[in-house]
Amino acid sequence: MKQNKLSYKIQQYLLFGGPGTALFLAVVIVPFIYGLYLTLTSWDGVSAVKPFVGFQNFVEAFSDGDYWAAMGRTVIYSIFAVVFINILAFGLAYLVTQGIKGQNFFRAGFFVPNLIGGIVLGYVWKFVFNRAFVAIFNSTSLLSTTEGAMFCLILVSVWQYAGYMMLIYVAGFMSVSKDVEEASRIDGCTSAQAMKNVTIPLMRSSFVQCIFLSITRCFVVYDVNLSLTNGEPFKSSTMAAMHVYNQAFTYKNYGLGQSEAVILFLVCAIVGVTQVLIGKRGEVEA
Amino acid sequence: MSEVILKGIKKIYDGDVTAVHDVNIHIKDKEFIVLVGPSGCGKSTTLRMVAGLEDISDGELYIDGKLCNDVEPKDRDIAMVFQSYALYPHMTVRDNLGFALKLKKVPKAEIKRKVEEVARVLDITQYLDRKPKALSGGQRQRVAIGRAMVRDPKVFLMDEPLSNLDAKLRNQMRAEIIKLRSRINTTFMYVTHDQTEAMTLGDRIVIMKDGFVNQIGTPQELFGKPVNLFVAGFIGMPVMNFFAGCNLLLEGGKYYAEIRNVKFELDEFQQKALKSRNQKPCEIICGIRPQHITVGEGELSAKVEVSELLGTEFNLHARSGDDEVVMVIPTMDLNTDVSMGANIKFTVQPKLIQLFDKETKNNLIWYDPVSAKANAPECARY
């Protein structure tokens, strides 16, 4: 059979999968591997020379106090942001799946902040915190204090991502069989008991996806960080990604910045994948 | 006592779409009642109103003497088996069975005892620690029934519980339900679109169409005394033969049914019934069940188009004038050629002819306007 020949299969693959694979290699795999190579150099990001320094950059990265302080802040920021994003998104999804009037309008409305880019969103909220709230409450800007800046960053991230995660939760709510919900009502569940015992367990895959997406997005937050606080005051809101960027492009330590980026990637991947592996246990089709 | 009384129950969607019209059913304690009808006739909606899953737009629902219109499903002391089984996919069979009891805060030991007892009765003990995904359709159906049984409810509701099973398993489960019924001895309300299920399971059957109750009666009553053309056509397999263009004649004080210009003198009971309602001669539709036709001799003739031998009987599809006539003829003592293309003579006992008014489609003998009014004002709206 012609279809069973290896050469035929390769031809077919190259025809249909080839362009996509080439593009993926060109824009993801090659830069990633090249980036790994750069971690072994002391390149400044500009010169043509890339002196090989072995694992020196990783040694420096592990002893870079600012980097680990930024990493610590990123972890704290991520914990709060992930929790609040998911609580709010779940609540909104519940609200817009109850058949209320105009629920499609609300779904679209809650999703809009996700369409506005992080940079624009950051500047809009910066205006709100620095001008509007200051004028209304006649107080100093929240962005001017260390705790306030972190709070603002979390608030804006929640605002930005809750609508997006809401859509995944909406899909989760809609995938729960109506018959199963009704069976739980007949079995004696109150609304809260049905939610706890039936709906939430059946939406486990939505939780896994949303938590994974929010963790990975929060760990590498940069745009909102840049436009809203720019790491200020006193670097108290500098997140790991911003520190990496500054290290590579502002301080011209590209090799070090790159190795810090690799560490950030590993931390993010380990946390994300662990969460998915744990979450996937006991997952069932609704 | 777990009577269920539906008094003038209506379901109106969005203020103008009436799905269920003025249903009146009195289900006696421990009675097995079957709601049957074609898709969209309102049978499931009626059941869901009894379950509390749909609001009642108008009328009153009593369960065990208590007005339940606004009572939450969990407080009605009912159990329901869904068409899709509606098992909790994230729970084991054991947890599915014990869930309702757990919510009622029944002691764990008691839950365990009841779950294991039900599992033993339904022969699903070996599956108790499996999840529903790992069960076959029939096993899932048993779990769904078990989940309802374990609660020992006042009323057992079943919404097309056998529809998702293949024909063989359906027959098997039907027998299981009959056995189950004798074992748990409670009030059953069962919805199906399958008239065989309705006939074999129900103490009484409620036939619905377009949201109206057409007739309520025992299987035998529905088979022998259909109040209108719809009921006559819905109950019975193969479907009743209808002869259009027939006449009801009144000659010399006696009524005759005229089919294909052949006059059949109606029997004494029919004569009395027609006289009591002072029936005028009119154009009628005559209904004859395939099993009531006798082949060999007779005044009517037909040409066999299809002849199906089913062992003990033949199913004949014959053409008589413009009508296709289906006949079920026992093979025993059959002396007539009933092969394809054969011309046959057939007849029917007049007392077995059903007479339907051509205009109203109601049965001239069995339609009772008074009881129809009591059941549903427009139940005869065919």
* Domain ranges within chain B, ordered by starting residue: 4-224, 239-365
Residue among B47, B77, B88, B141 with most chain A CBs within 10 A, to mutate:
B88
**Mean pLDDT of the region A232-241:** 89
Looking at the fold, whether A132 and A208 belong to one and the same domain comes out as yes
* Residue A172, number of CB atoms within 10 A of its CB: 23
pLDDT in tens, B322-367: 888 999 998 887 778 888 888 999 988 889 999 999 988 999 988 8
**Residue B375 pLDDT > 60:** no
Residue A29 pLDDT > 70, yes or no?
yes
What pLDDT was estimated at residue B382?
Answer: 34
Provide the residue range defining the domain that includes A8.
2-38
Cross-chain residue pair A282–B90, CB shorter than 8 Å: yes
Strand order in the sheet with B293-309: B323-330, B313-320, B293-309, B343-348
pLDDT of residue B379: 42
Q: Which residues does chain B have within 8 Å of residue A180's beta carbon, measured at their own beta carbons?
A: 86-89
Note the pLDDT tens digit of each residue in A198-230. 999 999 999 999 999 999 999 999 999 999 998
Residue A50: inside a domain: no
Average pLDDT value for chain A: 91
Query: If you average pLDDT over residues B77-102, what whole number do you get?
Result: 93
HEC states along chain A?
Answer: CHHHCHHHHHHHHHHHCHHHHHHHHHHHHHHHHHHHHHCCECCCCCCCCCCECCCHHHHHHHCCHHHHHHHHHHHHHHHHHHHHHHHHHHHHHHHCCCCCCCHHHHHHHHHHHHHCCHHHHHHHHHHHHHHHHHHHHCCCCHHHCHHHHHHHHHHHHHHHHHHHHHHHHHHHHHHCCHHHHHHHHHHCCCHHHHHHHHHHHHCHHHHHHHHHHHHHHHHCCCHHHHHHHCCCCCCCCCCHHHHHHHHHHHCCCHHHHHHHHHHHHHHHHHHHHHHHHHHHCCCCCC
Tell whether A282 is within 8 A of chain B (Cβ): yes
Among all residues of chain B, which has the CA nearest to that of A284?
Answer: B90
Contact pairs from chain A to chain B, CB under 8 Å: 66
Chain A residues 183-212 within an 8 A CB cutoff of chain B = 183-190, 193, 197-198, 201-202, 204
Which among B72, B78, B86 has the least Cβ separation from residue A179?
A: B86
Q: Examine the pLDDT at B377 and tell me if it is beyond 50.
A: no
Number of domains in chain A: 2
Residue B339 has a pLDDT of: 86
Q: Which of A175, A177, A186 to mutate to test the interface with B (most CBs of B within 10 A)?
A: A186
pLDDT tier at B381, thresholds 50, 70, 90: very low
Is B4-224 a domain of CATH 3.40.1260.10? no
**Interface contact A179-B82, CB threshold 8 A:** yes
Residues A27, A163 within the same domain: no
Mean pLDDT computed over A24-51: 91
Specify the higher pLDDT residue, A76 or B2: A76
**Which of B84, B99, B151 is opposite residue A177, by nearest beta carbon?**
B84
Same-domain check for residues A142 and A213? yes
* Tokens standing for residue B61: 């629902």
Question: At a CB cut-off of 8 Å and minimum separation 6, what does A96 contact?
Answer: A103, A106, A107, A110, A166, A170
* One-letter amino acid for residue A130 of the chain: N
- The distance of Cα A212 from the centroid of its chain, to the nearest Å, equals 8
Calculate mean pLDDT across residues B182-203: 90
Contact between B323 and B336 under an 8 Å Cβ cutoff? The reply is no
Closest CA–CA distance from residue B88 to any residue of chain A (Å): 6
| pLDDT for res B181 | 84
The band of B378, judged by pLDDT with boundaries at 50, 70 and 90, is very low
Pairing of the two strands B66-67 and B32-36: unpaired
Structure tokens at B183: 């074992």
When pLDDT is cut at 50, 70 and 90, the band that residue A286 belongs to is: low
Note whether B89 contacts A285, CB cutoff 8 Å. Answer: yes
Predicted pLDDT at A135: 86
* Tokens linked to B8: 């003038």
Whether residue B242 contacts residue B382, with contact meaning beta carbons closer than 8 Å, is answered with: no
**A239 Cβ under 8 Å from any chain B Cβ:** no
Residues A30 and A90 in one domain: no
Residue with tokens 């106090």: A65
The gap between the terminal CA atoms of chain B, to the nearest Å, is: 35
**Is the domain of A25 the same as that of A90?**
no
Global pTM? 0.81
Residue B374 has pLDDT above 70, yes or no: no
Q: Are residues A71 and A194 in the same domain?
A: yes
Indicate the CATH number of B239-365 among 3.90.1260.10, 3.40.50.720, 2.40.50.140, 3.30.479.20. 2.40.50.140
pLDDT band at B59 (very low <50, low <70, confident <90, very high): very high
In this structure, is residue A87 part of a structural domain?
yes
* Nearest CB to A186 within list B73, B83, B88: B73
- Note the pLDDT of residue A1: 59
- What interhelical angle do A146-175 and A65-95 show, nearest 10? 40
Q: pLDDT confidence of A162, banded at 50, 70, 90?
A: very high
Tell me which chain A residue has its CA closest to the CA of residue B88. Answer: A180
Residues of A in contact with B133 (CB under 8 A): 284-285
Please judge whether A182 and B87 are an interchain contact, meaning their C-beta atoms are less than 8 angstroms apart: no
Q: What CATH number does the domain containing A70 carry?
A: 1.10.3720.10
Taking the CA of residue A173 and the nearest CA in chain B, the distance in Å comes to 15
pLDDT of residue B380: 38
Residue indicated by tokens 């929640």: A158
Does residue A186 sit within a domain?
yes
ipTM of the complex: 0.82
- Nearest Cα neighbor of A256 from A69, A40, A103, A9 is A40
Residue A31 has pLDDT above 90, yes or no: yes
Q: Quick one: pLDDT band at residue B372, thresholds 50, 70, 90?
A: low
- Over the stretch B228-237, which tens digit does the pLDDT of each residue have? 999 999 998 8
